[in-house]
Amino acid sequence: MANIVFKRKVYEKMLQWKQESNGQTALLIEGARRIGKSTVVETFAQNEYRSYIRIDFNETSDEIKNLFSNLMDLNYIFLFLQNAYKKKLYRRKSVIIFDEIQQCPKARQAIKYLVKDGRYDYIETGSLISIRKNTANISIPSEEYRIEMFPMDYEEFCAAIGDENSIPLLRQMYERKKPLGDSLNRLKMKDLRLYMLIGGMPQAINAYLEKKNLEEVDKVKRQILQLYKEDLLKIDPTGKISKLFMAIPAQLSAGISRFQPTPVIGNIPSDKISELILNLEDSKTINISYHANDPNVGMSLNADICRYKMYIGDTGLFVTLAFWDKGYTENNIYDKLLSDKLSANLGYIYENLVAQMLRASGYQLFYYTFPKDENHSYEIDFLLSKGNKIWPIEVKSSGYKSHKSLDAFCDKFSSRVKERLLIYTKDFQKDGATTYLPVYFTPFL
């Protein structure tokens, strides 16, 4: 089976950019490797333009890269590209794609002048576009319109596997604030756990559709994780960033209230740690949640950039990374997870999934802790800003009847709270002031 081109929501955003920009800006799509950026951009170019040229800066020649070091003769550049790629470009009807633009900073700098020239449209894709080595000695063009792209979300996943009915039903039930009933909830949770295991990487989904075998899916995810490790080693040959990435599941499973880099990479200056974390964040392989020192509207103004939790950007990759020390055939984690029979506390996997879903819905991530007593603290897993109020969220995989952190937070900040949410694995219910949401309702928040 050939790789399937999956329907992606970002396509509609790209179409809106094309219509509204009319050549006045270049489109920059940021996202991690292997999430489908190149595929959706090339599909868009095929459908929406008369012709296109795609320059993949991971594999193109130095001769092509050097074209963008001297912009004195744009006519020559366009003729050269048309000859090299054997494609004809048409004024205002063609697009040039700069794929993995971080590999050619001069091409990114050239965007300003290419857009001003006005003959063609331009779409850039990339990750790691803001780290120092990829921005040194160039001027960042202000003519970029940025869109952040993520792994396939739950709605895209359902569509990819041929389930067109679940999302409309779940959305309707969420809007009506109605339970599904025990049997249907169990079915939808099993569907969601399949998404947790496979994840939103198009290659992994394609492997599942082709083989219907989770062992084959796991092999694909391990290849992607190995690629990420190699990419991170290119940024930081000491391996510190790679170690931070690999340590995320262990730190989440430990239940600590913040990511602790020192046990992972040793004692190094705080400014160096901050640089490593920023570079890791720029790789788009992770989602980072900052501590909100003042949990109120405008939390980014009071975020503590030295106090954070990190999540893997794709929960399917998270599951594989969490059990990286064992090959698929050496454990039956997939079967147990799918059937909801794993004995270990899976709260950290669901927490990673909720983080992924919230980011895909456009939220920045914040959390909050405050003292319970001399030795313990309360923790709110996520805080959402809605209008002039906040929505605290606690995530549970079990023991949902106990939500002391949520109760204490709402007592402490009662005037700021609009809705108090507990996200868990059971059906929708309302218990006093607390709303219990099944995990599959998270994308509708």
Q: What is the enclosing helix (H) or strand (E) of 342?
A: none
pLDDT at residue 423 is higher than 60: yes
Residue carrying structure tokens 């950019």: 17
pLDDT tens by residue, 74-116: 999 999 999 999 999 999 999 999 999 999 999 999 999 999 9
One-letter amino acid for residue 241 of the chain: I
Question: Two tokens at 66?
Answer: 């050097």
Residue 38, pLDDT score? 97
Calculate mean pLDDT across residues 367-385.
Answer: 94
What lies within 8 Å, CB to CB, of 212 at 6+ separation is none
pLDDT tens by residue, 388-417: 999 999 999 876 778 999 999 999 999 999
Q: What torsion do the CA atoms of 260, 395, 322, 237 make, to the nearest 10 degrees?
A: -40
pLDDT tens by residue, 195-241: 999 999 999 999 999 999 999 999 999 999 999 999 999 999 999 99
Give the whole-angstrom CA distance, residue 423 versus residue 350. Answer: 9
pLDDT at residue 29 is higher than 80: yes
Fold of 10-148: Rossmann fold (3.40.50)
Mean pLDDT for the chain overall? 93
What lies within 8 Å, CB to CB, of 355 at 6+ separation is 287, 289, 311, 365, 382
What lies within 8 Å, CB to CB, of 121 at 6+ separation is 18, 21, 23, 26, 27, 49, 92, 94, 95, 96
Angle 329-331-336 (CA atoms, 0-180°, nearest 5)? 120
Tally of residues, the chain: 445
Give the whole-angstrom CA distance, residue 260 versus residue 254. Answer: 11
Calculate mean pLDDT across residues 366-370.
Answer: 97
Strands 94-99 and 51-56: parallel
| Torsion sign, CA atoms 52, 53, 54, 57 | negative
Residue carrying structure tokens 């809705």: 419
Residue carrying structure tokens 């001399």: 374
Secondary structure of residue 130 in the 3-state scheme: coil
Question: Which residues on adjacent β-strands are paired with residue 288?
Answer: 310
pLDDT at residue 1 is higher than 60: no
| Percent of the chain at pLDDT exceeding 70 | 96
Residue 5, pLDDT score? 87
For the chain, give every domain's residue range.
10-148, 154-444
Question: Two tokens at 196?
Answer: 């947790």
Give the whole-angstrom CA distance, residue 423 versus residue 124. Answer: 37
Range list of H helices, 236-371:
240-246, 248-253, 262-265, 270-282, 315-322, 333-338, 347-360
Secondary structure of residue 150 in the 3-state scheme: coil
| Percent of the chain at pLDDT exceeding 90 | 85
Are 239 and 233 spatial neighbours (Cβ–Cβ below 8 Å)? yes
106 burial type by CB count under 10 A (0-12 exposed, 13-18 middle, 19+ buried): middle
Give the whole-angstrom CA distance, residue 97 versus residue 60. Answer: 13
Phi and psi at 312, nearest 5°, equal -75, 140
pLDDT tens by residue, 144-181: 999 999 999 999 999 999 999 999 999 999 999 999 99
